[in-house]
Amino acid sequence: MLSERRLEVLRAIVQDYVGTEEPVGSKALTERHKLGVSPATVRNDMAVLEDEGFIAQPHTSAGRIPTDKGYRLFVDRLAGVKPLSAPERRAIQNFLDSAVDLDDVVGRTVRLLAQLTRQVAVVQYPSLTRSTVRHVELLSLAPARLMLVLITDTGRVEQRMIDCPVPFGDTSLADLRARLNARVVGRRFSDVPLLVQELPESFDLEDRGTVTTVLATLLETLVEETEERLMIGGTANLTRFGHDFPLTIRPVLEALEEQVVLLRLLGEAEDSGMTVRIGHENAHEGLNSTSVVAVGYGSGDEAVAKLGVVGPTRMDYPGTMGAVRAVARYVGQILAES
Amino acid sequence: MLSERRLEVLRAIVQDYVGTEEPVGSKALTERHKLGVSPATVRNDMAVLEDEGFIAQPHTSAGRIPTDKGYRLFVDRLAGVKPLSAPERRAIQNFLDSAVDLDDVVGRTVRLLAQLTRQVAVVQYPSLTRSTVRHVELLSLAPARLMLVLITDTGRVEQRMIDCPVPFGDTSLADLRARLNARVVGRRFSDVPLLVQELPESFDLEDRGTVTTVLATLLETLVEETEERLMIGGTANLTRFGHDFPLTIRPVLEALEEQVVLLRLLGEAEDSGMTVRIGHENAHEGLNSTSVVAVGYGSGDEAVAKLGVVGPTRMDYPGTMGAVRAVARYVGQILAES
DNA sequence: GCCTGGCACTCGATGCGTAGGAGTGCCAGC
DNA sequence: GCTGGCACTCCTACGCATCGAGTGCCAGGC
**Separation CA A334–CA A330 (nearest Å):** 6
Counts of helices then strands in chain B (DSSP H, E): 12, 10
Residues B74, B80: Cα–Cα separation, whole Å: 9
The predicted-structure confidence for B43-91, as pLDDT tens digits, reads as follows: 999 999 999 999 999 988 889 999 999 999 999 998 889 999 999 999 9
How far apart, in whole angstroms, are the C-alpha atoms of residue A338 and residue A295?
Answer: 21
Contacts of B246 in chain A (CB under 8 A): 239, 245
SS3 B98: coil
Measure Cα distances from A333 to A116, A121, A166, B91 in Å. 19, 19, 46, 46
Crossing angle (nearest 10°) for helices B86-97 and B317-337:
40
Q: A235 vs B250: CB contact, 8 Å cut-off? A: no
* Nearest nt to the A27 alpha carbon by C1': C23
Give the residue from A19, A117, A126, A80 showing the smallest Cα distance to A324: A117
CA of B61 to C1' of D17 (A): 19
> Mean pLDDT throughout B213-230?
78
Q: Do B257 and A238 touch (CB under 8 A)?
A: no
**Band of the pLDDT at A316, cuts 50, 70, 90?**
very high
Size of interface A-B (CB pairs under 8 A): 75
Q: What is the pLDDT of residue B244?
A: 59
Residue B227 in this model has a pLDDT that exceeds 70? no
Tens-digit pLDDT profile for residues A247-282: 678 889 999 998 889 988 888 887 778 999 999 999
Q: Does domain A84-125+227-335 have CATH number 3.30.450.40?
A: yes
Segment B285-295 mean pLDDT: 94
| DSSP secondary structure letter of residue A284 | S
**Domain ranges within chain B, ordered by starting residue:** 2-75, 84-125+227-335, 127-223
State, as a whole number of angstroms, the distance between the CA of A63 and the C1' of C17.
Answer: 26
CA dihedral A20, A26, A28, A34 (to 10 degrees): 110
* Greater pLDDT, A161 or B25: B25
User: What is the percent of chain A where pLDDT is above 90?
Assistant: 46
pLDDT tens column, A60-86: 888 999 999 999 999 999 888 999 999
Give me chain B's average pLDDT, please: 88
The answer, yes or no, to whether residue B1 has pLDDT greater than 80, is no
Question: According to the model, what pLDDT value does residue A255 have?
Answer: 92
Segment A96-121 shows an average pLDDT of 92
Nearest-angstrom CA–CA distance, B120 and B186: 35
Q: What is the pLDDT of residues A19-56, one digit of tens each?
A: 999 999 999 899 889 888 889 999 999 999 999 999 99
> Which residues get their CB within 7 angstroms of nucleic chain D?
A 5, 36-41, 44, 59-62; B 23-28, 39-40, 43, 46-47, 50, 57, 60-64
Q: For position B149, what pLDDT does the model report? A: 84
Report the pLDDT value the prediction gives residue B225, as an integer from 0 to 100.
62
A246: pLDDT strictly greater than 80: no
Contact A85, A73 (CB under 8 A): no
φ, ψ of residue A149 in degrees (nearest 5):
-120, 130
Q: How far apart are CA A109 and CA A332, in angstroms?
A: 11
- Is pTM beyond 0.85 here? no
Q: Which residues 245-264 in chain A show a CB within 8 A of chain B?
A: 245-246, 249-250, 253-254, 256-257
pLDDT band for position B224 (cuts 50, 70, 90)? low
How many angstroms separate the CA of residue A41 from the nearest CA in chain B? 40
Report pLDDT digits (tens) over B144-175.
Answer: 888 888 888 777 778 788 888 888 888 888 88
pLDDT digits (tens, 9 = 90+) for B186-209: 888 888 888 888 888 888 888 888
Cα(B2)–Cα(A210) distance, integer angstroms: 70
pLDDT band, very low/low/confident/very high, at A245 (cuts 50, 70, 90): low
Cα B237 from chain centre: 17
Pick the CATH number of A127-223 from 3.30.2080.10, 1.20.1340.10, 3.40.140.10, 3.30.390.60: 3.30.390.60
Nucleotide nearest to B63 (CA to C1'): D22
What is the CA angle B305-B308-B309, rounded to 5? 155
CB atoms within 10 A of CB A35: 18
Strand C nucleotides, any atom under 7 Å from protein beta carbons: they are: 3-6, 9-12, 21-27
Chain A residues whose CB is inside 8 A of the B253 CB are 235-236, 238-239
Contact between residue B133 and residue B187 where contact means Cβ atoms under 8 Å apart: yes
Please answer whether residues B192 and B222 qualify as being in contact, where contact means their C-beta atoms are separated by less than 8 angstroms: yes
Q: Return the CATH fold of B2-75.
A: Arc Repressor Mutant, subunit A (1.10.10)
Which protein residue has its CA closest to C1' of D20? B61
What mean pLDDT is predicted for residues B17-32?
Answer: 92
CA B2 – CA B73 distance, rounded (Å): 11
The pLDDT, as a whole number, for residue A224 is 66
When pLDDT is averaged across residues B107-136 and rounded to a whole number, the result is 89
Supply the pLDDT for residue B96: 93
Asked whether the predicted pLDDT for residue A174 surpasses 90, the reply is: no
Q: Which nucleotide is nearest to A44 (CA to C1')?
A: C25
Greater confidence (B109 vs B249) lies with: B109
Q: Highest mean pLDDT range out of A123-132, A193-202, A241-250?
A: A193-202
Residues facing strand C, Cβ within 7 A? A 23-28, 39-40, 43, 46-47, 50, 57, 60-64; B 5, 36-41, 44, 59-62
Question: Phi, psi (5° rounding) for residue B136?
Answer: -120, 130
Considering only the beta carbons, identify the residue of B101, B160, B239 that sits closest to A250. Answer: B239
What percentage of chain A exceeds 70 in pLDDT? 96
What was the pLDDT predicted at B246? Answer: 61
Span B292-308, pLDDT tens digits: 999 999 877 778 889 99
Mean pLDDT of chain A: 88
Which residues from chain B sit within 8 angstroms of residue A160, using beta carbons? 100-101
Of A177-181, A298-302, B27-31, B225-229, the one with minimum mean pLDDT is B225-229
Helices (H), B74-197: 86-97, 102-117, 170-184, 192-196
Q: Name the CA dihedral angle for A204, A209, A215, A216, rounded to a multiple of 10 degrees.
A: 160
Contact A257 B238 (CB under 8 A): no
pLDDT of A154 higher than 70: yes
The Cα B194–Cα B203 span in angstroms is 18
